[in-house]
Chains A and B, each alone.
Chain A
Amino acid sequence: MARTLETRTETLTLGDDGVMFCTVKPTAEHTLSDAVENVRASAELTRGRRVPMILDTRGTQQISREARIYYTGPENAKVINACAMLISSSAGKILGNFLMRVNHPPFPFRLFSDEASARVWLKEIGATRSGHDEGSR
């Protein structure tokens, strides 16, 4: 059964298919403490497994440098094995490209404008395979 957790800036739902759907709350500005809280919430939902994530950032624009680094660092890599970021604006595209090309997340990362394409990609790269990467890495 799908489980959901709320933090100050995100709503996180781990679906039955093993995909974590993360919605960033509108206009929420992410600080490092938000990033730490969100990664901790993700880990609580996945219970140590590494799962693919669909990150819906269509409601936000602001994220601090420290938060960007944390999201694309080893702590988050312990929780997610791939990230499909949903964007709907030029600002989202710039943010996504920055995360991808400057912060270099240690897991597959790609930008999408719709959820269906994101899910297809996660399946194609094998991130959703059983949805239960045991997180040995």
Chain B
Amino acid sequence: MTKDPAEQPRGPALHGDGELSDQELDDRLQRLLARVAAATGAPDPPLSAAAPPEPRRQRLERLEAAAAALIDSEAAKRARIERTDQQFGELVEVVTALASLDYSQRVTVDEGQDDAINALAIGLNMMCEELAHATTALTRTRDDAMAANRAKSAFLANMSHEFRTPLNAIIGYTELINEEHGDTAAPEILADLRRIRGAAVHLLDLIQDTLDISKIEADKLILDVRALSVRALVDDVIATITPSAQSRGNELILECLQASDMIRGDPTRLRQILLNLLSNANKFTTRGQVTLRVDERELSGARWLDFAVIDTGIGIAPEKQHAIFEAFIQADDSTTRVYGGTGLGLTISRRLCELMGGGLTVESQVGVGSTFTATIPLVLDAAW
């Protein structure tokens, strides 16, 4: 690298008293002028041997003007750097706000600034605007949906209650007529009474399902946990489902493999889950087998009770196995028409299992059968 002449040691040009000679002063002034001119971009008049030397005062004035320009230029640079720093600071603040889901901050766009920084600022500002609007719209939509859902649940709960009262009266009076006139009434009248009662009970079940799902969705279903005998529970469930299984030509099998019997749980809701699973298995199986297998196991330091309902029925296609747990959905639209039901049974059963701290899973193969397994935590009753 060539060293600047202005920075050369001046030893040889000194007079005896240490002062510069006029010639040396002129030369160094000229070199300094050229250097300042180069730094500021101003043209430096070329020196000519023929031209008379520029007066020293004139050179000094040129040097002063150049130095002033240099100072202004440096001040402008400093101001620009300060604005850049400020913009960067704002960019960081906006990104920090964005990271905490605050979309209200904006970065200043400075027309005289660097294009890349302005591009970042403009992009961030637009993104914040859109996110703010989208979030507001989504929040409003969510709130509306939640309000509508609450209104629906309240409506369902009220209507279910209003329907159940007259339905219970219909069931009660058909039973009363059957008791009082069962011996004397014509057989066709008794058959009609049975149909009325059957239809009313079915309707009551549907209403009960609707009431259950609305309670579950509104987080208002409370479990009634108490001591219960697993064996007594499953015997009762099997006894309830047996007539229905026989009418469809299904063999009903009970396998109790668990060691524990007295546990703590909600017997009504457990019975509801098992009856639902067994009813489904029976409904979708004809002249086959329906098995209820109860077993216990240990997993991750906890003990679990499995109620597996295994059938040899029509099975469920893999792509439908997830959807059957969603409310009002059956494996196929035609399923409701052929087999009946609200499509709420599995939803309710799964949600009940989850409320108990467990879950409900399915394994199935079309044409082979299905296995629904309700799993609940095994909590032994301390009294036993």
Interface residues of A (CB under 8 A from B): 27, 61-62, 65, 68, 89-91, 93-95, 98, 102
Contacts and interface: CB of A to CB of B under 8 A. Distances in A.
Nearest to B119: A90
Secondary structure at the A interface, as helix, strand, loop or mixed, is: helix
B111 interface: yes
24 contacts: A27-B111, A61-B109, A61-B111, A62-B109, A62-B122, A65-B126, A65-B129, A65-B130, A65-B133, A68-B126, A89-B119, A90-B116, A90-B118, A90-B119, A91-B115, A91-B118, A91-B119, A94-B119, A94-B122, A94-B123, A94-B126, A98-B123, A98-B126, A102-B126
A61 B122 CA distance: 8
B118 A61 contact: yes
Nearest to A99: B126
A101 to B, nearest CB: 11
Contacts of B126: 65, 68, 94-95, 98, 102
B91 to A, nearest CB: 14
B122 A95 contact: yes
Given A61-B118, A62-B122, A98-B123, 16 more contacts: A61-B111, A62-B109, A65-B129, A65-B130, A89-B115, A89-B119, A90-B116, A91-B115, A91-B118, A91-B119, A91-B122, A94-B119, A94-B122, A94-B123, A94-B126, A98-B126
Interface in B279-298: none
Contacts of A95: 122, 126
The 3 A-B residue pairs whose C-beta atoms are closest, nearest first, are A90-B119, A91-B119, A94-B123
B136 to A, nearest CB: 13
A68 B129 CA distance: 12
Interface in B110-127: 111, 115-116, 118-119, 122-123, 126
A98 B111 CA distance: 20
Contacts of A68: 126
A89 B118 CA distance: 10
B137 to A, nearest CB: 13
A105 B128 CA distance: 20
Contacts of B116: 90
Contacts of A91: 115, 118-119, 122-123
Interface in B288-347: none
Contacts of A90: 115-116, 118-119
Nearest to A62: B109
Scoring B109, B118, B122 by chain A CB atoms within 10 A of each residue's CB, the highest score goes to: B122
Scoring A62, A65, A93, A94 by chain B CB atoms within 10 A of each residue's CB, the highest score goes to: A94
A130 B243 CA distance: 80
A102 to B, nearest CB: 6
